[in-house]
Amino acid sequence: MKSLDQLYDELQSANADSLGYPAAKDFDYAEIERFLNFPINNIGDPFAQGTYRVHTRECEREVVAFFAEATRAPQDDWWGYVTNGGTEGNLYGLYLARELHPDGIVYYSEATHYSVSKNLHFLGMRHIMIRAQENGEIDYDDLLETLKIHRDRPPIIFANIGTTMTEARDDIGRIVEMMDRLAIRERYIHSDAALVGGYAAYLDPRPAWDFADGADSVAISGHKFLGAPIPCGIVIARKHNVQRIARSIDYIGSLDTTITGSRSGFSPLMLWYRLQQLGEAGLRERLGRSLANAGYLVERLTAIGIPAWRNPNAITVVIPRADAAIQQRWQLATAGDISHVLVLPNVSREQIDTFVADVAKSRTEDACKA
Ligand SMILES: *Cc1c(COP(=O)(O)O)cnc(C)c1O
């Protein structure tokens, strides 16, 4: 094993160049480092009392309340907790849906995050994959035709609010309308807003993604748009649904409503601190900067002949599959014939210029070799 100093230097340099994954880096948690001195554990339900007093449930409740407001959750009918990330939030939403509709069928598009099919496998839920459009959004015609065939089973819609590769947003309003027209009353909608949930509430126009639009649960990652050194997330659901599956456990003196037993108490503190520092104004400012810079990146790439594009109001810029050296240096996630760049708030114009110059250079080199 290398020395800690070597490891630190490696991480520092890798971190400086990474542009391809949705992890914001503009954070500073030095002020809360001292809390690492305690075995903090938020075991059990964040809204219940427990016997273990080394916890940060108060922070956790405030974090959940912040996102309950951002997702327009119904007054007095929401519940949630801080998860280990978007994947756990999605697992929770699907678990809840299964308990409420044991004979339901999950519909999700082919652009859905890879972790979801594993979740469906864990839960043993019947599922049908729906085609995606070119931009990554669900194919509404395919969804409609498929729903029509299975009208005897409650649909559980797994909506992508920002697909991983192209940040496409399925329109929950449109899906609700579709189910209304088919007179499908028994149904469930989960909103996977891993990245976009950090700012969807501040977009104009606002995407149809939240509780007021028809979602029954929403999962958001904390380490993506907000930024954190430890993966974390938030899940929110309608409280009356959660109450139907809650169980009281003597051993911890609390309710076993969460997926894992022991839960990080540091992550809720981190998210709470981050929200205190930024506030809604800070989130809006970071979003504005990211959107402007994403537009700038598309412009610059287009100017050198690269057909870059992005979905409306997206901070994800899609480019044709980057060559191996570019993928490696900038750590670009690549799937099939596309790669993407995540223009998070930490990405500066200067870094964009360096990246574009690097892409231009690699194209010239390729042309010379050919
Ligand atoms: C990142 C992502 C996930 C998984 O979230 P983690 O926080 O990495 O667990 C799920 N869905 C989408 C659309 C994502 O982009």
Q: What is the pLDDT of residue 366?
A: 75
CA angle centred on 338, ends 27 and 330, rounded to 5°: 40
Share of the chain above pLDDT 70, in %: 98
Q: What is the pLDDT of residue 252?
A: 66
Q: How many residues does the chain have?
A: 370
Q: 3-state SS of the chain: helix, strand, coil percent to 5? A: 45, 15, 40
Strands 338-342 and 334-335, bridge-based pairing:
antiparallel
| Beta-ladder partners of 238 | 78
Look at the block and give the residue holding tokens 């480019």. 319
Q: What is the pLDDT of residue 256?
A: 81
Residue 146: HSE in the Cβ half-sphere, 13 Å Cα cutoff: 21
From 87, 166, 235, the mutation candidate for ligand 1 (largest count of ligand atoms within 8 A of CB) is 87
Strands 233-238 and 78-83, bridge-based pairing:
antiparallel
Q: Is the pTM of this model over 0.85?
A: yes
Give the separation between CA 343 and CA 22, rounded to whole angstroms.
8
Instruction: Tell which atom from ligand 1 comes closest to the C-alpha of 161.
Output: 13
Task: Judge whether residue 180 has pLDDT over 90.
Answer: yes
Ligand 1, atom 5: nearest CA belongs to which residue? 86
Q: What is the pLDDT of residue 246?
A: 77
Residue span(s) of the chain under CATH 3.40.640.10 come to 30-276
Does residue 207 sit in helix, strand or coil? coil
Fold of 30-276: Aspartate Aminotransferase; domain 2 (3.40.640)
Give the separation between CA 249 and CA 283, rounded to whole angstroms.
38
- Give the Å distance between the CA of 108 and the centre of ligand 1: 15
Give the separation between CA 171 and CA 138, rounded to whole angstroms.
8
Residue span(s) of the chain under CATH 3.90.1150.10 come to 283-369
- Tens of pLDDT, residue by residue over 120-146, are 999 999 999 999 999 999 999 999 999
* Token reading at 5: 């100093």
370 pLDDT tier (thresholds 50, 70, 90): low
- Tens of pLDDT, residue by residue over 34-50, are 999 999 999 999 999 88
Instruction: Tell which atom from ligand 1 comes closest to the C-alpha of 195.
Output: 15
> With the CA atoms of 53, 58, 59 and 62 taken in that order, what torsion angle do they form, in degrees rounded to the nearest 10?
160
Q: Identify which has the larger pLDDT, 367 or 278.
A: 278
CB under 6 Å to ligand 1: residues?
A: 85-87, 90, 113, 115, 160, 162-164, 192, 194-195, 221, 231, 233
Instruction: Tell which atom from ligand 1 comes closest to the C-alpha of 223.
Output: 7
CATH superfamily of 283-369: Aspartate Aminotransferase, domain 1 (3.90.1150.10)
Give the separation between CA 362 and CA 328, rounded to whole angstroms.
13
For the packed helices 115-123 and 86-100, what is the interaxial angle rounded to 10 degrees? 40
Give the type of residue at 288.
G
Task: Judge whether residue 354 has pLDDT over 90.
Answer: yes
